[in-house]
Amino acid sequence: MGRSQAALTFGSNLSDFDVERVRADFPILSKRIYDRPLVFLDSAASAQKPQAVIDAVRHCYEDEYANIHRGVYYLSAQATLAYEAARAKVQRFLNAREDREIIFTRGATEAINLVASSYGGTFLKEGDEVVLSALEHHSNIVPWQLLRDRMGITIRVVPINDAGEFLLDEYEKLLGPRTKLVAVTHISNALGTVTPVAEITRLAHAHGAIVLLDGCQAVPHQAVDVQTLDCDFYTFSGHKLYGPSGIGALYGKADLLQAMPPYQGGGDMIRSVSFEKTEYADIPQRFEAGTPHIAGAIGLGAAIDYVTALDQEKIAAHEQALLAYATDRLSGIPGLRLFGTAREKASILSFTIDGAHPHDVGTILDRAGIAVRAGHHCTQPVMDRFGIAGTVRASFGLYNSFDEVDALAAGIEQVKEIFG
């Protein structure tokens, strides 16, 4: 099936979303791997960067770099303005009420650790319960285990069904008077499952619990409105949103952030310091100790500009069409088993092939120029749920095409020929 026919069949209007024009914005996509055109299907791990982001980072270092907030000279003032403008872009992107509700972090991992350490370490006590789901990335499991080991909290886990769907009824049964915090993924990085975050949040609040949502896989694929969701914390990583690595953001309701003690101590998070006493800065600086990733924040702002200019609704429609087409193509391959067949899911396909180890599949596809992820995807509990060690994961971004889905299917056929 050709690209135009596939687009028509699976609902993507190429006149609304010109993927070839978009692809031209990403320099790395013209690269050849083993003399084959690169087919990059690993955006769930880390997305490629458009020229606009690369240029923004280069401009920062070439034309306006200096440390921020403390300098009284021109370059420092310009860098400070650019850094704080990026914070305002994140605020608008998530529809937070105020830009001081946006904390820059190294990524979602640090953001979750910040909440676990600062909020959890202050407001939770022995016997309190934190509810997670069986879909969670290790980054939303281990910080709560560290808190459990330190403070004696209890972790409870919402199960998933065979389709990889979050079981809302089971979740509601877990909520009780000891439930103090719910921390769940918005979209599963291993299966693509979209969880019912609005209802999850509503039920948690009805039991007096606060909610943290891991939005790493959500923000590249759909618009997020934290005020509508009414979540208490929301986090994402820049490198999955076509921005630089080493930068991310934590949204937190202002009253919660103001009540939380600093996560780290150092420069820029203080009002005054003496050997007798330290007075801490207001939010957001209170949680941004030391020199931050200035160019990273500016690059993240450029990535947000890029994504919003393309129109998130059009991106979502294109990616859903890709997902439908890829699901149809791969479902018809004998010996291939899909994991994660939720009714609501993002553009992620996890699968195994009979008789072939996922790492072998990934290696063979690599020789054909196709980049996929193979392994447990930092979600070992998900793999345990299905009784497997790992999967091959193909994840689609805004720059992927129907032709690349065809290339993936052809590569899988080569795998099957090798393994019989």
Give the sheet arrangement for strand 391-395, strand by strand. 336-339, 348-353, 391-395, 373-375
Question: What does the alpha-carbon distance between residue 194 and residue 187 come to, in Å, rounded to a whole number?
Answer: 5
Q: How is residue 52 written in tokens?
A: 């606009």
Q: For residue 279, give the 3-state DSSP assignment.
A: strand
What does the buried/exposed string (b/e) look like for 181-219 if buried means 16 or more CB atoms within 10 Å of the residue's CB?
bbbbbbbbbbbbbbbebeebbebbeebebbbbbbbbbbb
At 313, which helix (H) or strand (E)? helix 312-331
Selected catalytic residue, list 60, 216, 231, 378: 378
Annotation says 378 is catalytic:
yes
Greatest C-alpha distance within the chain: 73
Count of residues for the chain? Answer: 420
Which residue type occupies 94?
L
Q: How is residue 38 written in tokens?
A: 């690169």
Q: How far is CA 379 from the centre of its chain?
A: 14
Question: What does the alpha-carbon distance between residue 254 and residue 178 come to, in Å, rounded to a whole number?
Answer: 24
Question: What does the alpha-carbon distance between residue 70 and residue 47 come to, in Å, rounded to a whole number?
Answer: 33
Question: What does the alpha-carbon distance between residue 10 and residue 324 come to, in Å, rounded to a whole number?
Answer: 6
Q: How is residue 412 written in tokens?
A: 């899988």
Whole-number Cα distances in Å, 229 to 99, 202, 232: 18, 8, 9
Question: What does the alpha-carbon distance between residue 339 and residue 316 come to, in Å, rounded to a whole number?
Answer: 21
Q: Within 13 Å of residue 417, how many CA atoms lie on the same side as its CB?
A: 8
Which residues are catalytically annotated?
378
